[in-house]
Structure 1
Amino acid sequence: MNSENTPHRAVAQGPAATARRALLRGLAGAATLGGLALGTAPASAAPHRTSPRGTTPRPGTAEEALRELTAGNRRWRAFRERHPDETCAVRQSLTAGQHPFAVVLGCIDSRVPPELVFDQGLGDLMTVRTAGEVLDEAVLGSVAYGVLELGIPLVVVLGHQSCGAVKAAVQADLSGERLPAHIQYLADRISPSIDRTKQGDARVDATIDANIRAVHSRLTAEPDLAAKISTGALAVVGARYELSTQLVHRIA
């Protein structure tokens, strides 16, 4: 894993080395998002869609989408971004429609743009961002639109290290003071996830994970989404981005 942070390291050549690199890439991908094997895709899974990138098929199942996001995050961490799907040809092709392969519900934090941390481009991700991944009817409707209308097979709830919205909710809970205007609305929805068994920064950190789990649980309980999950046509995954390492990993 450490070698990924050394972009200019010499790489061995030859068939054996190529096979070894392929194996290591596969193992690294499984480790990055916590070994998210989702089993064999059902017969009803969405078919592959040809990517504007060339001959590479677009992910059509949740498992394939996870592999693509894992590979993109690995490139991001190693400073080997491809910045895909930004060419003139891609932009022109997208005027006829869109076929994103994942919905990412993330935080508004400027340090965690999903297209960058997963190294994806135009037409690849449908992103919904609110402070602390807070859900309301507009957010639920946006996620549902991607799943039900566009047939997206994967939803990722993406929290992150040092989330300011979570920290504000924890501090307000401790002080008893109300936050300004609509910020209190955010705190009220995060507060049920506050882990009061911990103190200081540990409380904030634990609450970040608990909030991801709470948002994940609410999404999977939505009847329309739950129906898709039950048939294997959809997976909803909780994940967290570490600012210190740029790693995205699963929150179980």
Structure 2
Amino acid sequence: MATFFRLSRSMAYVVAALLGYAIHHILQPPVMFLTSRFSRTRFGRSTFALIARSPIGLRHVLLAILISFGAFAIFSWPSTPPVWAIVLVALTPLPVFTLFNYSGRVLTVTNRGSGDWHVHLNTLRSRDQTGAAQWEGAFADLEAIANMARAAGLQTLTLDSTLLAHAATAERLTRKLTRAFSKHGLQTDVTIEDSRALGVWGTGFIHVLREHQRHLKGHRTVYHAPLNLMTRKIVVGLLPVPRSSLDAELAA
């Protein structure tokens, strides 16, 4: 029984890892290419902040696209749709990802609608990013995110990463995050949740990223069990600082 359980866990890990590799090497390159370049422009950042004021988030638009794909397939059956229509349908998600994601040097922000953003790490490549450069890039991204958050009326920011399982890393990032938002007139209510097991499926899915994180210090990654990494979520509630308090802080 124990052997069967271990075999099932290993198979689940392999299936998740294959799915992760497929997304990483097929879907992610064009999305990151477009998103990163759009995010570097002032127009791109302004557009992201403007769209973030809407209750509609990335998942809502992707669901609408999925339903449209299904309707398209049903109504075109049994005739074969023209090639141009298939190509158009396949490329539709690309501009959506570009508009609903902000991609910085280290951090990527996903707009989930109704003033709720989710932050995750871009792929870290050891050949062109040292640990110090990654921290520098992350702090620069936090400044940009804080600037956009004020314009977008952001209410909630969520970070969830296996690299935050190490308590010292989570606390250091939280201090920098709080300071960055304070500079832009936003007060934070930070909740650092307890670390938790990511699960075999989740760990397998991000196996492709482990290749780019081998240069990190060993204590940065924490395992609950073999094939099961620990992760940690940080939830940040945001409110505008009252004008009188902000003036007093700037005068001091």
* TM-score, normalization by structure 2: 0.28
Point out the structure with the larger helix share: 2
Bigger relative contact order, structure 1 or 2 (CA pairs below 8 A, ≥6 apart): 2
Highest Rg: 1 or 2? 2
* TM-score, normalization by structure 1: 0.28
